[in-house]
Structure 1
Amino acid sequence: MSEKLTIAMLGLGEAGSHFANDLVNLGVKVIGYDPKPLRKLHPSIEVKASNAEAVQEADIIFSANLSSVSEEIATEIVSVIKPHQFFCEMNTSGPEKKQKIASILASSGVKMIDLAIMAPVPPKGIMTPLLASGEYAEDFLAKIQSLKLDISSIENSKIGDAATRKLLRSIVYKGIAAVVCEAMEAGEAFGMEPYIRGQISSLIGGNNELIDRFVEGSKTHAIRRMHEMEAVIEMLEAKGIDPIVTKGTRSNLEKLSFI
């Protein structure tokens, strides 16, 4: 690697801890913060006492937190971040919230990137496909090029464009998963699981393992995906669309979160 990067990881939950550990293995110096760091971390990761402390030495800042705290984090760090740094907002929220974060950080001169996580983080970790948008997206890709991550950018884009694409995609993928979950539950209740599994399989190219991944993934990540669908609902309603199916997907994930 031609350049030793220092990356701050704000949020060390499922996604953040995977990213942080993998980045260390790629030769990156990783500094992190999480108010409740529960995941196992590589011993070389420097866990700081606050978001503001974690970002000060970083070339790149990854913020992989809940959407509900993203504005608060931006407010916390705005006085200490610098124009030479890249701030990558990775939370699952709609374009309007990404733009609000950009406005909070604008006075710092930091190069903000709307960086969307486009697939489940396990099993690929930091090699999960990422989509970048914003004025500095191409500069960011050049900065991180040596790591050879799976990152693409949207040409001539603005903050919020990556988030919009991620949430539009989620209507499809999370919606299909909700249908599969409900169909499998019904098949089991009627004692006809092999039949309903065959019906689903005929629509998804005979991929029986994918059915199990839809069901197990929806259960395992129900709370996070529920928040994701809430962001979709907010985005669609802002466009005057009544998201009937997406509301059903959100309700299905809420039910699964109690299982």
Structure 2
Amino acid sequence: MRPRVAFLGLGEAGYAIASGLSDQAHVTGFDPAWTGRPAEFTASASAAEAVAGADVVIALTAAVDAPGALESVLGRTTDTAIYLDLSTASPDLKRDLAATATAHGLTFAEGVLMAPVLRLLVRTPVLATGPGAGRAAELLCACGMDVTPLGGEVGEAAARKLLRSIVVKGLTALMVESLRVAESQGLGQWCYDHLVDTLTELDGDVVHRLLDGTVAHSVRRVAEMEAAASMARAAGEPAAMALATAEVLKSVPGQGVPRFETAP
């Protein structure tokens, strides 16, 4: 028998994953903003209708909507259902959701998407923790998803996601700022090509050199970033990322830089 999977939230990510699961599972979904576009799954008229009889309920909402999504289905699921929250929320919010679910007899798991959904669709890697993580992974992997249960406490998956976000979103913001200033200098294409070359050659050795070099040369690099900030402001940019980088570098002589080995 095909598993029954219900989605709360049918935005870009929810729609893509629900569609991808439809061949291997009986999929239903609810979203108050549903536009009625063509779908290979059943779009329900309410959250309660969507989760009725579901083996796994996947909540893929914005963090601000996560508590409301959970509240909308309390007492509406089967006794054996697993509630998997995939919102990009803080570890504290995930723990609050877990406490609410547990208080109502609903098995909870928290998970996070670790790659852009529109690139990998239903195969987007998911990390999951919490009491229901193992069972959710078993059911969903059988349907084509890539869910890895971490075996840790609720909040651990969220922490990993947000640590990744600091790097990925921070790097994106740095690139935006750099390219805007480069364009003002007539160096936009060169800067773009240089960014591609720099990021392409990144590996464990390069990361170690960057971190070790920061320990040895943080004072000089603060001055370098302050000069970059001045150039950015002259180009009409607020230099937010350059100035923030300088502030972090100023902390290095006193606080150091964590050192870890590259995984084999």
Q: Give the structure-1-normalised TM-score.
A: 0.74
Match of 1:27 among 10, 24, 30: 24
**Cα RMSD, aligned residues only:** 2.3
Structure 2 contact 101–107 (Cα < 8 Å) conserved = no
Alignment match, 1:241 = none
1:16-165 matched pairs, under 5 angstroms: 16-24=14-22, 26-38=23-35, 40-42=37-39, 44-155=40-151, 157-165=152-160
Q: CA 1:61–1:127 in 2, change beyond 3 Å: closer, same or farther?
A: same
Alignment match, 2:199 = 204
Local SS of the residue matching 2:138 = helix
Alignment match, 1:5 = 3
- The letter of the residue matching 1:28 is A
- The letter of the residue matching 2:179 is M
Alignment match, 1:190 = 185
Structure 2 contact 140–146 (Cα < 8 Å) conserved = no
**Residue 248 of structure 1, CA deviation:** 6.7
Structure 1 contact 82–108 (Cα < 8 Å) conserved = no
Structure 2 contact 84–136 (Cα < 8 Å) conserved = no
Bigger Cα Rg: 2
Matches of 1:184 and 1:164 in 2, distance apart? 30
**Residue 137 of structure 1, CA deviation:** 1.6
Structure 2 contact 9–31 (Cα < 8 Å) conserved = yes
- The letter of the residue matching 1:14 is E
Residue 168 of structure 2 corresponds to residue 170 of structure 1: no
Structure 1 contact 78–104 (Cα < 8 Å) conserved = no
Local SS of the residue matching 1:83 = coil
Structure 1 contact 82–109 (Cα < 8 Å) conserved = no
**Residue 146 of structure 1, CA deviation:** 1.6
TM-superposition CA deviations, 1:122-150 (whole Å, max 9, x none)? 02111111111112322222223322422
**Residue 206 of structure 1, CA deviation:** 6.2
Gaps of 5+ in 2: 203-239, 246-264
Q: Give the structure-2-normalised TM-score.
A: 0.72
Percentage of pairs with the same residue: 27
Gaps of 5+ in 1: 208-243, 250-259
The number of residue pairs the alignment matches comes to 207
- The letter of the residue matching 1:10 is L
Matches of 2:114 and 2:153 in 1, distance apart? 17
